[in-house]
Structure 1
Amino acid sequence: MASLLGETLFETSGQGPAPMKDYFHFAITKSQIIWSWWKISLRSDCRNTPPGQLRESHEDFLEDSRLQNQVAVVFGPHILQYSKNLCQGHYDYIVHLPNALLFNIMAHLDLEDISVVSRTCRRFRETVRKHCDTVTPTVEALAEEVGWRTIFFTNKLQLQMQISRRKQKENQPCEDKDEPSSSSVPLE
């Protein structure tokens, strides 16, 4: 499984939170983390500030609360947690799988299981949506409502009827039960 991992395990970049205009880059390799920043300022005294870079081992990053706070502020707590997991050796192998292997896995899963796995990994979800036309967003919404097992054992015609009923329900205007409908009021 280690052969699936490239040299760079994770990489992201972006602008810091407002009012900061600085640009940050965060990368995790197999042996170290790299934190880079570019100061962006309209003030003339800060215009020629060179970019900075900090390289630390995984162990040092896990103990460096200041850098962890910066990562959390710029990229959010979920990126910080994911980074800490990578530095502790908890790798997310499914993200690094080749597409051919992902397709092979999908071919052996039930529809219900594909749905569950697609909710756990963004890359798997995008692959399912791009290459499998059996799970459309409307089918997914209906499955959340009635359950995947029901969807799986429903034939295609019944499934289309359920989807059309669901759309009709959503498109019906709400009627006030206290007011008589126009069809029950006698015309003079």
Structure 2
Amino acid sequence: MASWLPETLYETVGQGPAPSKDYYQLLVTHSQIIFRWWKISLRSEYRSARPGEAKDTHEDFLDNSHLQVQVALIFGRRTLEYVFSLCKGEIDFLERLSDHLLLSIISYLDLEDIARLSQTSCRFAKLCKSDILWEQIVQSACDTITPDMRALAEDMGWRQMFFTNKLQLQRQLRKRKQRQGSQR
């Protein structure tokens, strides 16, 4: 695996399925899968139970169906599939980029490509609809943004402002100025 990756490739915590109150942690490092649990129970047989830990190499995890079932039950099938990918050395580098960096990259895309990208995952849908992205797009499309335009965009959202035609924007700016004038 690439040496510039952090030691911890993936980490998540969760609670067991109802009625369990047990807590679990799944940690994927460069070389191991670490599965930890803490029993939380009012039942007398579990009161003295100590936290537990299971460690497997990536290769052993791929053969350990019992641990795979545990991971799927607690964290879900998608998490299990993601851990499989990590164990096989298939790292999604795009997923590891920060939102700030992804927003910078997305801002260079065409509108049609942004619409398509927003359909690929929940994370990209959120990024493609974010005010930070649309503020960048509006600023690159407009020569100047007046303080009134900025205030209107913050009220209605930068994305909505981008897709609103100029006549409607001028009407909304006039109404906003009239309201501000009448409040004084």
Tell me the TM-score normalized by structure 1. 0.66
How far does the alpha carbon of each residue in 1:36-88 deviate from its partner, in whole angstroms, 9 at most, with x for none? 00111101232121100111111010010110011111111111111101111
Matches within 5 A, 1:128-143: 128=128, 129-133=130-134
Question: Does the 8 A contact of 1:4 with 1:93 survive in 2?
Answer: no
What stretches of structure 2 of length at least 5 have no aligned partner? 138-155, 169-184
Q: CA deviation at 1:107?
A: 2.6
1:119–1:3 CA distance, 2 compared to 1 (3 A) = farther
The answer to whether 1:20 aligns with 2:20 is yes
Change (3 A) 1:8 1:52: same
Alpha-carbon offset, residue 31 of structure 1: 1.2
Kept in 2, the 8 Å contact 1:95–1:121? The answer is no
Tell whether the 8 Å contact from 2:14 to 2:25 is kept in structure 1 after alignment: yes
Residue by residue, what CA displacement relative to the aligned partner does 1:115-135 show, whole Å, maximum 9, x if unpaired? Answer: 332333444444442512369
Specify the alignment match of 2:38 in structure 1: 38
Aligned-pair Cα RMSD in Å: 3.1
Q: 1:157 aligns with which of 145, 158, 165?
A: 165
The SS at the match of 1:18 is: coil
Aligned residues: 147
Answer yes or no: is the 8 Å Cα contact 2:107–2:133 preserved in 1.
no
2:114 paired residue number: 114
TM-score scaled by length of structure 2: 0.67
Task: Name stretches of at least 5 consecutive residues in structure 1 with no aligned partner.
Answer: 141-151, 161-188
* Structure with bigger gyration radius: 1
Identical pairs, percent: 48
Give the ranges of 4+ consecutive aligned residues of structure 1 lying more than 3 Å apart after TM superposition. Answer: 1-4, 98-101, 121-128, 133-137
Range moving further from structure 2, 118-127 or 28-37: 118-127
Aligned AA (1:26)? L
